[in-house]
Structure 1
Amino acid sequence: MKFIKIGDKTINLEKLHGIIDKIIEMRQNGFSQQEVASRFKVDRSFVSRLESLGEVRKGGNIAVVGFPIKNKEELEMLFREWGVNFTLLLSEKERLNLAENMSGVELFNMVMDLIAKIQSHDVIIFLGSDKRSQLVEAIFDRDIITINIGHSPLTEDVYVDPQIVKEILNSLKG
C-alpha cells in the first residue's frame, strides 16, 4: 500500500485510485452521475468534475510525435489521411543523426522550436517509451495521449500497430 501525508491526513493512494476506477467503470456501464454519486456518497458535481479532468477534447488541431518508430512511413500516411496537422516521427537512426550532426546550441534551439510548434495544437499524441511519455506530459499543458511503445531506454525501432492509432484518431475526430 502507498500512503502519503497531506497536512494532518494520511491518504491511501491505492484505495483512492481504486474508488476513482470504480466510479469511472460505473459511468462507463451506463449508471447516471447521480447514481454513482449516491453509491460513493459524493456530490453529483464531483463525478462530473472527475470526468472533466480526464476528458480529451474532440476535434481541434492534432500533433503527433514519436520515436523510435519502425513503420514510420505507414503511420505518416495514416496521419495525412486523417488530417493530422503536425507529425514528427523518427527512427532511432534519424534521432541519433540529429543529435550527432548538430551542435548543442543548434539542437537546443531546434527542440525549443519544436516545443513551440507542438504547444500550439489542441491535442498531442505521443508514441514513445515510458520515461519519454512522462517527460512529454510534464512539458506540455495540453491534452496528451500517450502510446507507450516500450520500456526506456529504447535502442531499436518499434512497430506501432496502426489499428491502435486509428482508434485514437476516430475517438478524437468523432
Structure 2
Amino acid sequence: MRRRKPKIYGVILAGGPSSLMGEDKALLRLGDETLLDRNTRLLESLGVKEVLVCRNEEGCLHDIYENAGPMAGIHSALMKTKSAKVANTLLVMPIDMPFLDKRIMEDLLSFGNAMRCAVTYSNYQLPLYLPNSAENREFAKVVALSKEDRSIKRYLNIINSTQVNSTELDKLLSMNDKKDWQRALLSLNT
C-alpha cells in the first residue's frame, strides 16, 4: 500500500489587535496590495494546498480558544488540517514580517522536510515549519489555554523542534509600530 504524501498548508497569523500600530496590520498597503494579499500570494507561490488566515472574521479560520494569542491560531490551524491518513504540515507566518520572500520560505520548507520536526530560524519563532502530529496539537492546546506563558517560544521548547541559521536575517524583521512600518516601506521601495 502506497503512503499518501503529506500536504503543506500555509497559515497566516493575522488576528492580533495591532494596538502599537494603531491600525490593522493585515490591511496595510504595500504598493497595490495589502500585507494579507502579499502573504497569501507568497504562500501560494510555494505550492501550498490551501492558505488559512487565522483571524476572527468571515471567511477566515476562527480561533477555537479566543483571546489566547498566536498559539490559539496555530492550534486552530492544526485542528483544521489534522488527518488520520497522512501527517500534514503547516507553514506558519505572521502578518507583520513584510520582508519574507519565496527564497527564505523555500529554505525553511527544505530544512523542515529534511529534519521532519518543527523548524524556525535561529532566535526567531516565526516563520515556522510545523508537522501536524497528535503531540503538536495537544501541546498547542496546553500552551494556548495556559494562564501564564502562551508564547510560541514556550511551545517550541516543549515540542520536538530545532532552529537553523539564515544568512538573510534582514528578511526576518517584523514591524510593530508606525515607525517600523515607515522603515519597511522605505526599504521595500528602494
Q: Which has the larger radius of gyration?
A: 1
TM over 0.5: no
Calculate the TM-score normalised by the size of structure 2. Answer: 0.29
The TM-score normalised by the length of structure 1 is 0.31
**Greater helix percent: which structure?**
1
**More RCO (CA 8 Å, sep 6+):** 2
